[in-house]
Amino acid sequence: MKKTVIAVMIAAIITACLTGCTKSQPEKTVDTISFEKPVFLSEEQLTFRNDSAIIMSEKAMLETLTPVYEYMNSHPGFSLLICGLYDSSDISDYGQGIRELRAELIADMLIEMGTDSDRVETTGLSPDNPFYNATDGPGSNDKTQHPACVLIDASAREEYGLP
């Protein structure tokens, strides 16, 4: 699987170089956060380049993740499960690699901010997982148009049918 992640990274970098990275980023952040329900963050909020795991603005991603970090800092017993998302029609190894890499990049950012790595878990959420198309899952119609990840209280993983 490591070779797949590396291949995804290389393909994403080549794509970025060929298409340019000049798109301005919206100033979207998460003001307050609670993990009573899954929290969805879009490609735009996390500044992932569409259809990739390339971060276009580390500063904007940091601003988006700051409330998550603050929540975790004020709730020392809380652990987070980060589920990376990508195009639901792509069930290939490439698509799964992007899902996993997005989750890992978000976790790395939270750890760099000071979150204990033991409190952060990652997975790539495949569209064939039952949670994906559940009422509160990333595949439901009331979510952001391009979700990049879903953040879940790690203790609730079984409730959502996650491994």
Q: Which amino acid is at 110?
A: L
Task: Compare 17 and 67 and report the one with higher pLDDT.
Answer: 67
Residue 23, domain member (yes or no): yes
Percent residues over pLDDT 70 in the chain: 71
| Ordered DSSP codes for 1-29 | -HHHHHHHHHHHHHHHHHH-S-PPPP---
Could you tell me the residue range of the domain that residue 101 belongs to?
Answer: 2-156
Residue 163, domain member (yes or no): no
161 pLDDT above the threshold of 50: yes
**Binning pLDDT at 50, 70 and 90, where does residue 145 land?**
low
Q: How many folded domains does the chain comprise?
A: 1
β 120-124/39-42 pair status: unpaired
| The two three-digit tokens of residue 5, written as one number | 């992640």
Residue 110, domain member (yes or no): yes
Q: Which residues pair with 152 in a beta bridge?
A: 81
Q: 21: domain CATH number?
A: 3.30.1330.60
Calculate mean pLDDT across residues 100-123: 95
Residue 161, domain member (yes or no): no
Residue 53, domain member (yes or no): yes
Residue 162, domain member (yes or no): no
Calculate mean pLDDT across residues 19-35: 48
Residue 15, domain member (yes or no): yes
